[in-house]
Structure 1
C-alpha cells in the first residue's frame, strides 16, 4: 500500500503557523514530514517547528530527502502525511525518487537576487522554473495557493513565461 500523502508544499520557511496549523488542519493531516537535508540535522530548527506542529495536534518528523525516499513506502496506513519541502529542487528529488506525490502546493518562495515575481509570495529563478515545469510534466498537480480555500494558480509555461 502506498503512503497516504495528502499534499506536498514548497515553502522556504518550512513549518510555521500557516503550514503547521492552517494547512495541517485543513488537510486533516496527522503527520507533517519535513523533507529537507539541513532541517534534518538542525535540532534548534526542529524544536521551533515541533512547537508549531504540536499546536495542530499532528506529529512531525524531520528526514533528509534520501531518507524520505528510502522509507516513505513503510508509512503506516493510519498516517495522513503532509510533506513540506523548502525548494522546487527538493520536491523534484522526491518525485524522481518515486515518492508517490500527486499534488504540490507552491506556498512561499521569497525574493532573492535573480528571482522574478510570479505572485506576491512566489519568486522564481531559472532553476526553480526548470524544476517546477519538470514536476508539472510528470503529471503531478502543481499550483500556487497561499491559504486553503484561496484561488489556485496552476503552474505552467504560461505562468512562468517571464522567468
Structure 2
C-alpha cells in the first residue's frame, strides 16, 4: 500500500460542477476526480451529470462511498493526481479518522440551511460542522476557506 497522491480535498455541497470540474481541476493539475459521498455513489443520475463535467476537463471520475474510499484509496497509482471531493466536514472527519491522508482541506461551498450560521459569503456551518472543523484542525489538517484558486485562503480558525 502506498500513500495516494491527493492533490486537494475540497468540501462542496454541490460536489462536482463547473467550478470544481474545470477551474479547480486545471489549477491543481488533477487527473482524477474522486467523489467520496454515500448518496452519489448510489445515484446514476448524479453520476451522469458529474461525469459530463469531468469529461469536459478530460479527467477521470470515480464515485465511492466513504467506506470504499477509506478501504481503497491507498491502492491508487502514484500517477493518479487525485482531487478528492466531499460534501461535509463530518465526511472529512470520517475519512481522516479512517486513515485517508488528508493534509489540507479546502472549504468551498456549504449552503445555508436551518441552524447554520454564515462564516463567509458562501460557507454556512452549524455546530456539528464547526466541531468537525475544530477536530480536523486538532488532528493536523490545514482547514481553510477558498472559493476559487485566485482567492486568498481564510484559515477556518479565523471564522469559527
If the length of structure 1 is used for normalisation, what is the TM-score?
A: 0.96
Deviations 1:1-47 (A, max 9, x none): 30000110000000000001100100100000000000000000000
Counterpart Cα distance in 1 of 2:31 and 2:110: 25
Residue 40 of structure 1: SS of its match in structure 2? coil
Shift of 1:65: 0.1
Residue aligning to 1:77: 78
Deviations 1:89-128 (A, max 9, x none): 1111100001011110000000001100000100000000
Separation in 2 of the partners of 1:104 and 1:57? 24
TM-score scaled to structure 2, two decimals? 0.98
Q: Which residue of 2 aligns with 1:62?
A: 63
Query: Which residue of structure 1 aligns with residue 159 of structure 2?
Result: 159
CA-atom RMSD in angstroms? 0.6
What is the deviation of 1:77? 1.1
Distance of 2:33 and 2:10 partners within structure 1: 11
Residue equivalent to 1:141: 142
Counterpart CA distance in 1 for 2:43 and 2:51 is: 12
Aligned length: 159
- The aligned residue for residue 126 of structure 2 is 125
Mapped partners of 2:8, 2:103: distance in 1: 7
Distance 1:104 1:6 in 2: 10
Distance apart, 1:57 and its partner CA = 1.1
Corresponding residue number in structure 2 for 1:16: 17
Aligned partner of 1:88 in structure 2 is 89
Question: How far apart are the structure 2 equivalents of 1:114 and 1:138?
Answer: 26
Q: What's the CA shift for 1:129? A: 0.3
